[in-house]
Structure 1
Amino acid sequence: MNTLRHRSALLAVAGTALALSLTACQSDADSKSAPAAATSAAVKASDGKGTGTSDPTGSTDSAGSKVSKGSTGTGGSAGSTGSTGEQVNASVPVCAARDVTVTAATQGGPPYTHLVLTAKNTSRHSCRLTGFPHVQFLESHKQDVPAVAKSKPATPVVLTAGAPAYALVKLSDGGVDEDNEPVSAFMVMLEGDSAVITVTAPGSGGIAVDPAKALTGYWTPELRNGADDF
Structure 2
Amino acid sequence: MRTHHKTTVLAAAALTALSLGLTACGGETGTGAKDAGSASSSQQAAGAADTTTGTDTGATGGEAGSGDTAGSAGQASAKGSTTGGSTSGGAGETGTTGSSGGKASAEAPACAHGDIKITAAKADEVPTEHIVLTATNTSGSSCTLLQYPLIAFGDIQTAKDVPAVAKSKPAAPVVLQPGTPAYANVRVALGGVDEENKVVKSFNVNLFAADGPAEGSIVVDAPAGGLAVDEAAAKTGYWTHELRNGADEF
Does the pair score TM above 0.5?
A: yes
Aligned identity (percent) is 51
RMSD over aligned Cα atoms: 2.8
Q: How many residues align?
A: 168
Normalised by the size of structure 2, how large is the TM-score? Answer: 0.59
Q: Which residue of 2 aligns with 1:145?
A: 162
Q: Tell me how far 1:77 sits from its aligned partner.
A: 7.9
Partners of 1:137 and 1:87 in 2: CA distance: 33
* Higher share of residues assigned helix: 2
Q: Tell me if structure 2 keeps the 8 A contact 1:102–1:197.
A: yes
Cα deviation code 1:175-209 (max 9, x no counterpart): 23463211111111111322121100012x11111
Q: Tell me if structure 2 keeps the 8 A contact 1:126–1:158.
A: yes
Partners of 2:113 and 2:96 in 1: CA distance: 23
1:216 maps to 2:232: no
Q: Could you tell me which amino acid in structure 2 is paired with residue 211 of structure 1? A: E
Shift >4 Å, 4+ stretches: 54-58, 68-73
Q: Tell me how far 1:90 sits from its aligned partner.
A: 2.0
Partners of 1:198 and 1:176 in 2: CA distance: 26
Q: Tell me if structure 2 keeps the 8 A contact 1:103–1:200.
A: yes
Q: Which residue of 2 aligns with 1:85?
A: 95
Partners of 1:177 and 1:78 in 2: CA distance: 59
Q: Which residue of 1 aligns with 2:246?
A: 226
What 5-or-longer segments of structure 1 have no aligned partner? 1-53, 59-67
Normalised by the size of structure 1, how large is the TM-score? Answer: 0.64
Partners of 1:113 and 1:150 in 2: CA distance: 19
Q: Tell me if structure 1 keeps the 8 A contact 2:94–2:105.
A: no
Cα deviation code 1:192-230 (max 9, x no counterpart): 322121100012x11111111100011111111111010
Partners of 2:216 and 2:120 in 1: CA distance: 18
Cα deviation code 1:131-165 (max 9, x no counterpart): 11010112396121111111111111111111111
Q: Could you tell me which amino acid in structure 2 is paired with residue 110 of structure 1? A: V
Q: Which residue of 2 aligns with 1:182?
A: 199
Report the secondary structure of 2:171's partner residue: coil
